[in-house]
Every structure is written in structure tokens, then in C-alpha cells.
Amino acid sequence: MNHEVLEEAVLQPPTRSALAELTTAPAIGTPSRTASRDNKTVRVAIVHDWLVTYAGAEKVLEQIVACFPDADLFSLVDFLDDRSFLRGKPVTTSFIQKLPLARTKYRTYLPLMPLAIEQLDVSAYDVVISSSHAVAKGILTGPDQVHISYVHSPIRYAWDLQHQYLQQSKLTSGLKSAMARLILHYIRNWDIRTANSVDGFIANSEFIARRIKKVYQRDAQVIFPPVDVDAFTLCTEKDDFYLTASRMVPYKKIDLIVEAFARMPERKLVVIGDGPEMQKIRAKAGANVEIMGYQPFEVLKDRMSRAKAFVFAAEEDFGISVVEAQACGTPVIAYGKGGALETVRDVAEPRATGMFFDEQSADSIIAAVERFDAHVKRFSPLDCRANAERFSAANFRERLFAHVRAAVPALRNATLSPYMPYVPERAGPTANAPRILAVDQSGVLGGAELSLLEIVKALRSRIEVVLFDDGPFRTALDKAGVSVEVLDAGALRNVRKQGGSLPKGAALKGLLSLVRATAKRARNAQVIYANTQRAMVIGAVAGKLARRPVVWHLRDIVSPEHFGGKQLAIIKWCARLGLSHVIANSAASARAFAELTQFDDKRIDVVFNGISAAPFDALRDVPQATLRERLNLPQDAFLVGSFSRLARWKGQHVLLEAMVLNPHMHAVLVGAPLFGEDQYEIELHAFVAANKLGGRVHFLGFQHDIPACMCAVDAVVHTSITPEPFGRVIVEGMLAQRPVVAARAGGVLEIVDDYENGVLCTPGDAHALADALAELRSNAELRERLVKNGYRTALSRFGTEAYVESVERILRRVAASAKKSADA
């Protein structure tokens, strides 16, 4: 059953504090309650619904553990990859932990959860603290035990949100609907009955306290959940953009916010987050909406600090991100229902920190934004920060500890120890990080290899690279200090992705040899990371032999335009045989792969390529004349640069046709035919000769220093005639601070906003390309705007830090999941 609890927030290290002597707990399974009382010790058990991620409920759990560091932990299931916030504590789990597919489908066991929570034995403890948004409060306790339940919400999909849940799950009619309604009826009856065993309720907001009163007929003490306001710094200078940040799931209503701003093109919106609604949200975005996807904490904090306002459209029980925004001094525009009413001071109140809208609709959001702009001077960053500090983690710990102490006579004299940082016994952030075998088919330095290079440089201490061909890529890996080995691909290297036949004879022998050699090396790693299509085929089979999970970094659009029919069949077969997860370099790549293979969306993540700005920034003070002289390019011409291997689908011929139509500029072609495409290069030279373009077209061939070549030209073009999976050259052009003209298709649409950070043209249309380049040449103001916005886009959305962090996070998660399955 679908269920989301609170706003996801950034992981902060847990801490050591409180009850050093009074809550010393003997090992689970050997309790002695009489000895505990004689020694004036109090045994504490903490019960949580399920441990599968780190979100709002887990932030509360983290602080409860910080208050009672010697307590024992219980949960229905524990599938955490990173358990640092639990101080490395073991967790006693229920029988659901060992049921089939429990790691990913644990919610489907909702009918068994009441039984499962009742089987957890906490009878040896004096105090039981349950952290509950589902069934944890139903833990069985005796008459001499004190049970305090911190309730994030009564089971929302069983109570007031039942009909919304059934509708979203498409269970409004039929046999499945009847079964679901019967189960939820049973859950409601059980939920009411078990409320009687709770000695005291704590609610995370007045809104939830009213729910508790409505459902259980019990009063609840309100203790707001902890927000790490100290992790956010006050910023008094705001930029002219709005921000929303959230997990992209239906009830967060991010789509409504994006739709509203798409109808306000004069206002800019930045969206941070990822999730199953990503494609729906991207489809609604206008040119003024920048969707950044998942971002590391530093990027989130930067945008939250500089935003004009934070927009929030969900009906949340509390809403941590709303408080985090105010901690940055940023006012909030929020839906006027739920926890936001308790965390935001409306514009009608003294020291206002935001304003509300009445309906979850685009029209209501638009009206609220317009009202906000009219009253923007009434909001003070200092007032926002002061309001946020009411919800600090320190306040939470003090109030929770005081509440428990008042309820437990044996704790009346206990004091809360100072909050001290928790330092894990196992030093180093990579202590539990998996070893990785990266596999790539090529020795050349193409876009896929340059992107892999960023990953292996960051993870060099625990990654090994296997290549199926030698060349400049191997040299670059050696120079980066990465362990690399080149395997002989033999005749297999002649097999092309557009080829019409399957490998036979010598090629098949080479295939089997590569599989065996790769499997042998994979046994020293926890996960295989395949960077290219042929590497994925080898990796999928080798992963089966070595019993290792395989992650494919998909950098192609797997469609008939790019692959032969038999190659597509092989990809589909390998996906079913041995792929654990896919990282796609764009939503366009992800869509094509999902359509081909019917792969589960949960096993596909979109991670944009990360490209370092450093090589481009290093050339900032080098005169363009110096670079042109070095490359033997004319000093006074308007130079248009194309940067790609020479291949028909890359469309260099379209640029040459545009040169015929526009005699006032020169073309610079950087790249060589890499994969048997020499005939295309011959055709390009023949076209130049036939149209007398020899003085205006400059073939530079393969170049190592792409940043220098880009900074030498006046504009960068991307001319692919079939959809590009990503479009690395576009981002590089933005980093070089050159205006970019690109073909309107594929992953390019996820990078370029037309006439904002680049110009889009119809693929293969030489006339449109010539017109766009002529406009660029004559319009200095347009060039300046595109350069400014393009550079900002490249830095914020395609930086290497977020790229490496995202890929590493996925590899770690897949390796941990495989280990759990193997251990089960």
C-alpha cells in the first residue's frame, strides 16, 4: 500500500546524549527486570514501523535514539543501507523480514502487520516508545510498562484518506477493491482497539492531534518533529526565482506548482527532487521552469537560501522543508491546510513568514504568487529564521525527554546530557562502500568514456576498470591513478550496434573469452558497472556466472534509429537475464529502454552526466586570439564549432549545408570517424570541395583539448539528425560560455530551454540552422543572454559532484540489496 510520511530531508549524523546511567540496557534476550529496578536502571525499547529509508519519521527516530542511546530497537523490517543515524544499533525484526520480496514489497504485507507487530516481545522493558505512522503503536505491553507513542499520523490510508488511496491505486470497483476495503476495515478496528494500550500520545502537530482525537478519542501532547535548522544559514539577499523541493509523488502536488508557473512565463521556478512523477512533471514544465532532479544537500541549501520564496502545495502532517526554507530566511507560499498552518505565519499576522492559498489548484497557486509579489517587502529573512528556530532538534529532544521523564516515576531525577556528535566506531565514509568493477568496450575518449572517467577518478580507491580495447581512454585512466586492464576482444570488436548479424565464429569465441575473464575479475567486486552497450552484454552474462548484480549506465536511446533489430533483441534479453538496475543519462533514454524491455520503473534512475567546469574556467583569461593561433584558425571570422565524432547521424553535413546558405561565417569540425565511418568523412570533404567551401571549413580531426577548441570559436552547434541520448557537447559549450544551437530532439530537450540558455532547431533542417546562426552573429544581446543562462544551467544541473554522488548512491544501494538477498 502506498504511503509517504513527512518531507524527505538531508541526512545528518546522529549523536550521543542522555540517561548515561539510568538507561543502561542489558543485551536483548537476557533481561532481568528485578535487577534493573534494584540498580535503579530503566530499560527502554523503541519501536518503529519499518526501516527502509531515511525520511521524516526516521529523523524523529534518530533524535529519540539520541535521547535514549542505550535503548533497544524493534521494527517490522530493517532493510537500511546506511544505518549511521541509528548509531549502528542492531534491530530486532518481525517474521515479515524473511517473507518473499519483503525488501521492495513490504507494504503489500499490510494485512499481516498487526500480527507481526504483536509478535515482537518487549515484555522485559520498563518504558516502550513507539514511533508510529502505521502499526508500531500496536506493540503489546503490560500493566507495569509505560507505553508512549509518538504518532506521525494515524494510518492515513485506512482513515480519512482511504477513498483517495483507493482512487490512486485504481481500486474503486471490482473484487480487488472489495478485498482492499475489507482489509482496511479490519485495520481500522485493530487500530482503535490497540489505542487503548497506549499510556500517552504525542502528536507531531496540532493537525495530527486533532486526527488522534477524532480516531482514538484521546488527547495528545504536541511536540513538533525535529528540523536541523543549524544546517541552514540565514541569507538576506534573494534572487529572482521561486523554489520547490520534494520527493516527486502524487500527494506532493509538484505538478500543480509546475503547471502554475508554466502559465506565468515571466516568473522563474526551480524544482529539486526526483521520484515516480518526474516524467509527468517534466511534460508540464515551460521554458521558465528549471527541473534539476536529485541534488546533494549543498545545492539544495544554496537554492533554498537564494530563492525569493519556497512554494509548497501538499497537505502535510508537518512539512519539514517548509521550516528548512524559513531557516534560510526564505518566506513560504503554502497550501493552507495541515501542518503548514502551524509552521508558517500568514501575511495577516505580525512578523509574517509566508502566505497561504486555499485550493490545490494551479489557479490558486498563481493568485497566491501574485499576492506574494505585491506584499514581498513585508517579509523579513530575520523573522523567517526566528520562526524556524522554534522547531530545532534541540527543542525536540528537550521536550520529548521532559515528557517521558514526567510519565515515568523512575526517571523523575534524570537529566538530558549535552548533545554530543556521534562518531561511528568504523572510521571513514567508505567503510561499508562496495568494490566496483567498471566495464567499457572502448579505448577511445568518447562522451561515455569521459563521463565514466569522472566516476572512476572519484572512486579510484575501490574501483577497477576493464576495457575491451586499448587507446587514449586507457592512458587517461592510468594518468588518473585508476587500476585498469585491457582484455582482448578479438573479432568481437568488429560487431557494430547497427550490424545486421549476430556474432559468429571467431567473434563468438571472443565473446565467451571476455565473459569468462570479466566474471573472474567480478568475483573481487560487489557490483558490476557496465558503461556501454557491449560492456552491458558481457557484464550481464558475467554477472550471472559470478553472482554479482549488474548496473548498466545507459547512454543510448535504444530504438531502431540507433540499433539494429537483432541488437535490440539482445538488449531486451540481457535486461531480463542479468540487469539489476539501469542508470539512464536522460529521461529520453529511460523512456526508450522501458518501452523496449518493460523494465520496472523502480529499477531505472535518470542521472544527468556530470561535466567539470575546471578545464573551461582555466582558459577564462586566455585571449581567444591566442587559442585561434594555436589551432591555425582565422582571427577575424565568426567561427561555428561542431564537436563530435564524424558520423552521419551526428549531422555534420547539415552544418556544411548551412555554410553554403550563410557565406559570412566559418565552420570548425573537431572530431574523427571512430567506428568504421571513414566513408562519411570522405563525403564531407567532397561536399566542401564541390561547393568551394575550402577556405571556410576547418577540419581539426581528433583533439585532446576540447575546452581550448570550444573557447576558440564564437558559437557551438549540435546537429544530430536522430534523437541524441544526452548531448554532452551542449553542456560543454555552455561551460565554455559560448552560445549553443542544438537539434530539437531526445535528451537535448532536457538541457536547452529555447532562446533562454540555447537555441533549438529542427533536426536536419539546414535552412533553420543557417537562420539561427545568422541571428546569433548579428544579435550581441541574444548571445550574451544565452551565454549567461547557459553557464548557470551547466553549473547547477550538470556538475560533477551531483553526478558522482548519484551514481555512487545507486551502486551502493544495488550492492547492499544483493547482499541482503544473498544473506537471507
Q: Which of 4-8, 74-78, 505-509 has the lowest mean pLDDT?
A: 4-8
Mean pLDDT (whole number) for 105-127 = 93
Rounded to two decimals, the pTM is: 0.50
* Angle separating helix axes 533-546 and 506-522, nearest 10 degrees: 60
Residue 621 is classified by DSSP as T
Is residue 704 over pLDDT 70?
A: yes
Listing from the earlier edge strand, what are the strands of the sheet with 354-357? Answer: 289-293, 269-272, 242-245, 309-312, 332-335, 354-357
Mean pLDDT (whole number) for 790-810 = 88
Residues with Cβ within 8 Å of 426's Cβ and at least 6 positions away in sequence, in order, are 88, 432
**309: pLDDT confidence band, cut at 50, 70 and 90?**
very high
pLDDT, tens only, 249-270: 888 999 999 999 999 999 999 9
Residue 62 is predicted with a pLDDT of 93
**422: pLDDT confidence band, cut at 50, 70 and 90?**
low
Residues with Cβ within 8 Å of 367's Cβ and at least 6 positions away in sequence, in order, are 357
How far apart CA 190 and CA 265 sit, in angstroms, is: 51
Is residue 710 over pLDDT 90?
A: yes
Is 44 in a helix, a strand, or coil?
strand
Is residue 12 over pLDDT 50?
A: no
pLDDT, tens only, 601-641: 889 999 998 888 888 988 888 899 999 999 999 999 999 99
Question: What share of the chain in percent tops pLDDT 70?
Answer: 90
Mean pLDDT (whole number) for 360-372 = 96
Give DSSP secondary structure letters for 642-687.
EES---GGGTHHHHHHHHHH-TT-EEEEE----SS-HHHHHHHHHH
pLDDT, tens only, 653-694: 999 999 999 999 999 999 988 767 889 999 999 999 999 999
How far apart CA 409 and CA 404 sit, in angstroms, is: 9
Residue 25 is predicted with a pLDDT of 34
Is 810 in a helix, a strand, or coil?
helix
Domains of the chain: 15-225+393-421 (3.40.50.2000), 229-391 (3.40.50.2000), 436-610+802-823 (3.40.50.2000), 614-798 (3.40.50.2000)
Exposed, middle or buried by CB within 10 Å (0-12, 13-18, 19+), for 390? Answer: middle
Residue 4 is predicted with a pLDDT of 33
Exposed, middle or buried by CB within 10 Å (0-12, 13-18, 19+), for 16? Answer: middle
What letter represents residue 297's amino acid?
F
**37: pLDDT confidence band, cut at 50, 70 and 90?**
very low
* CB neighbourhood size of 247 (10 A): 18
Beta bridge partners of 200: 148
53: region left, alpha or beta (phi > 0 left; psi from -120 to 50 alpha): beta
Residues with Cβ within 8 Å of 799's Cβ and at least 6 positions away in sequence, in order, are 299, 610, 611, 613
Residue 368 is predicted with a pLDDT of 96
- Using an 8 Å Cβ cutoff, are 560 and 568 in contact? yes
Mean pLDDT (whole number) for 700-720 = 93
What letter represents residue 537's amino acid?
V
Is 537 in a helix, a strand, or coil?
helix
**492: pLDDT confidence band, cut at 50, 70 and 90?**
low
Stronger pLDDT, 346 or 480, i.e. the higher one: 346
- Using an 8 Å Cβ cutoff, are 540 and 578 in contact? yes
Mean pLDDT (whole number) for 555-574 = 88
Is residue 455 over pLDDT 80?
A: yes
Q: What is the CA 365 to chain-centroid distance, rounded?
A: 26
Mean pLDDT (whole number) for 179-189 = 85
pLDDT, tens only, 767-793: 999 999 999 999 999 999 999 999 999
Residue 274 is predicted with a pLDDT of 81
Mean pLDDT (whole number) for 532-540 = 90
Mean pLDDT (whole number) for 642-651 = 93
Residue 108 is classified by DSSP as G
Residue 161 is predicted with a pLDDT of 62
Average pLDDT, the chain: 86
Q: Which of 32-46, 362-376, 458-472 has the lowest mean pLDDT?
A: 32-46
47 closest CA partner among 218, 198, 183, 208: 198
Residue 432 is predicted with a pLDDT of 62
Stronger pLDDT, 81 or 299, i.e. the higher one: 299
* CB neighbourhood size of 542 (10 A): 28
Stronger pLDDT, 657 or 472, i.e. the higher one: 657
**14: pLDDT confidence band, cut at 50, 70 and 90?**
very low
How far apart CA 50 and CA 107 sit, in angstroms, is: 10
Is residue 437 over pLDDT 80?
A: yes
Q: Which of 6-15, 294-303, 308-317, 741-750 has the lowest mean pLDDT?
A: 6-15
